[in-house]
Amino acid sequence: MRTRQLAWRRLTAWLVDWLCILILPGVLVPIGLLVRSTGVDVPGWVLNLGAFLILIVPVTCWLAWCESGPHQATPGKRLRGLKVVGRSGGRATFRRTLLRNTFKVALPWELGHTVAYGFAAGSEGAWLTVLTILTYAVLLAWLWSILLPRTPYDVLSGTQVISAPAR
């Protein structure tokens, strides 16, 4: 039961964090639509690279900064009474939390963007099918793994999410 409760708290914390994260695309999408309305034709790979640099990288760094900071938690984790710790049980370093969020956020997000841009460009081929399957496999594995004591991205980064006093 404890693992299920922690999983529920982690999932709801993630939803709160995504409400915060959605502010950035909410600002960027209208700018992108404005640029597109001027008739500028940008290749899909440039759009994908741009999205990676101005959306995925900043979000990943912000999450890592929150988790390595004094509260050791993103806004959602703080609200749900969770924090991220390192191997020793103390504060995780920025390097560890950046690695954690690269696996947790940047990898699946970029895979999804690459697949979306591939389909939008009318690309075909085995590479797009394999990448689509890989994207869904990673997403499902990450979602399922919150039921485990430690997620794969926590194991790979040497971190762990534990209960902490709620704010």
Q: Dump pLDDT digits (tens) for 95-151.
A: 999 999 999 999 999 999 999 988 888 888 899 999 999 999 999 998 888 888 889
Residue 66 has pLDDT above 90, yes or no: yes
Residue 166 has pLDDT above 70, yes or no: no
The more confidently predicted of residues 5 and 109 is 109
Strand-pairing partners, residue 142, are none
Q: What local confidence, expressed as pLDDT, does residue 163 receive?
A: 92
Q: What local confidence, expressed as pLDDT, does residue 1 receive?
A: 44
* pTM of this structure: 0.89
Q: What local confidence, expressed as pLDDT, does residue 122 receive?
A: 83
- Of 78, 86, 85, 28, nearest to 58 (Cα)? 28
